[in-house]
Structure 1
Amino acid sequence: MAIPSQQYTLRFRNRSESQHDFLCYQQGIDVNLPNVYTLAWFAKPVANDAFVDFTWTIDYNFVWSEQGMLVPGVKFQAGQVVPAGLRESNRVEFTRIDGAFQFASQSSTGAAGSLTINGADGVPKRAAKFGIGMSGYGTHVVDAEPNFAAIFTPHPEYWVSFGDYDQGEVLDIQTLVNAAKVPFPANVYEMTVALDAGNNWTVAQGLV
């Protein structure tokens, strides 16, 4: 029997006196391509004096989308989500068969600790985006390239911000309002972030 993955929970508590969309996204990834799109991993409106919990497990996945252009504010729409791991099922082919993009030939032949997507011969340059995610949702994608293996090496860092966002939206990290890193210490799986009336974050262990 497979051992269930450890569950993590991040609580967003709104004490700002205004309603906001709370945002969680990931940083801490190495990719062998220069242009990496960071996606809104979680986003949800939270009324003043209310809270919302975001729960996940560190289970990776491959994602792709048939979107030729992604810019900040555009929502990434996954056409396929395939479970992946850093040691097993860590490599997949991205191909087009009879005009249909798809993942195929998933294997465990990628470098341990990384996730590899190989763009097959015949995949039109930049006609699609592919990348990785966690717990079923995309976190980072790149332009699909033919005959090129994109290698993603994640070292997950969890960051929060607030504003007007949708889950899956492409982010411009440089323009995010008061972004803050939320560390999870060893053997701590629940954290709370609270936004006050001055738009400052308070970070605490546990669900408070």
Structure 2
Amino acid sequence: MPPHHQDSALSRRRFLVTGAACAGALAVPAAVGTPCVAAATQYTLTATNNSTQFQDICLFQKAVGLGVPAALSLAWLTAPAHPGHTVTFTWSVDYSFVWALTGPLMSGIPFMDWEQAAADPDDQLRNQTGFDFDNGNYGFVPASGSGTPLGGLGVQILPGVPDDTASVGIGMDSSPVFAAQAVPGANLVFTPHPQYWITAGTFIRGEVLNVEEITNEAEIPYGNTFSMNAVLGKTNLWTVSATKS
């Protein structure tokens, strides 16, 4: 597991982490006087497994137009489902910066024991962060300058971060969505355009995906609704529809 920074020279005051991403992760309370933010719109997807076998239902997003060519998709939300069973996913479009100790980032490995920091692509004060390695500890630190344009989420990788050790990315609703290798000196600007996809098979939440190898996927086009249904049939094909009011 990555260190949780309790004794790091990168003190709790410097870290931007605002919530615990996993059991035992460092949680830093919001600053006094931080304005309350209105609740974001909640999306719902009800998925039914009508195939003949137990499968993990997996939601993911594709890195098309993300602006970071080396970014990889992660198994964002997952749930097990026996034949005939239904699972429900809910989320809101609340972004975060995420990082994990992954070694070389490649498909099939888990993006695990991750930590996060609050992010907002439409707020010039919260749309970028730095990522550093100091005194044996990794973590988010304040970014230098204000070069990330609105609509983007920027991560400045400081030169002291060792090669092929950690990965950084962005999450949605407190779960990692995309990750890229933390290359020392790189400035990664993620420009999210959420599009949601569903698949089924054997998946672990946070697993790095090779989306080119996924064959039974279906897009979930929300359009003017916030509630959708997806049914996996006996031939392992999806039927997607809006929830009837």
TM-score bucket (shorter structure): over 0.9
SS at match of 1:154: coil
| The one of 8, 15, 34 aligned to 2:69 | 34
2:190 maps to 1:152: yes
2:41 maps to 1:12: no
- 2:136 and 2:50 map into 1 onto residues whose CA distance is 50
Residue of structure 2 equivalent to 1:95: 132
Q: Which has the higher contact order (CA 8 A, sep 6+)?
A: 1
Residue of structure 2 equivalent to 1:112: 150
Aligned residues: 207
Question: Are the structure 2 counterparts of residues 125 and 167 from structure 1 closer, same or farther at C-alpha, using a change threshold of 3 Å?
Answer: same
The offset of 1:108, in angstroms, is 9.3
137-146 or 32-41, which deviates more:
32-41
Question: Are the structure 2 counterparts of residues 207 and 124 from structure 1 closer, same or farther at C-alpha, using a change threshold of 3 Å?
Answer: farther
Q: Is the 8 A contact 2:63 2:72 kept in 1?
A: no
| The one of 55, 58, 66 aligned to 2:93 | 58
Supply the AA of the counterpart residue of 2:50. Answer: R
The alignment yields a C-alpha RMSD, in angstroms, of: 1.8
For structure 1, list consecutive stretches of 5 or more residues without a partner in the other structure: none
SS at match of 1:30: coil
Residue of structure 1 equivalent to 2:15: none
The offset of 1:18, in angstroms, is 1.8
More strand by share: 1
* Paired residues for 1:1-208 under 5 Å: 1-88=36-123, 89-105=126-142, 109=146, 110-186=148-224, 188-206=225-243
Percentage of pairs with the same residue: 31
Supply the AA of the counterpart residue of 2:242. Answer: Q
Q: Is the 8 A contact 2:105 2:164 kept in 1?
A: no
- 2:72 and 2:143 map into 1 onto residues whose CA distance is 23
The offset of 1:156, in angstroms, is 0.8
Q: Is the 8 A contact 2:67 2:191 kept in 1?
A: no
Supply the AA of the counterpart residue of 1:21. Answer: D
Supply the AA of the counterpart residue of 1:51. Answer: T
Question: Are the structure 2 counterparts of residues 43 and 168 from structure 1 closer, same or farther at C-alpha, using a change threshold of 3 Å?
Answer: same
The offset of 1:21, in angstroms, is 0.8
Q: Is the 8 A contact 2:228 2:241 kept in 1?
A: yes
For structure 2, list consecutive stretches of 5 or more residues without a partner in the other structure: 1-35
Superimposed CA distance per residue, residues 30-73 of structure 1 (whole angstroms, 9 cap, x where no aligned partner): 34543222100011210111100011000001000112123322
The offset of 1:127, in angstroms, is 1.8
Supply the AA of the counterpart residue of 1:101. Answer: Y
- 2:79 and 2:52 map into 1 onto residues whose CA distance is 17
TM-score, normalisation: structure 2: 0.79
77-86 or 165-174, which deviates more:
77-86
- 1:171 and 1:24 map into 2 onto residues whose CA distance is 11
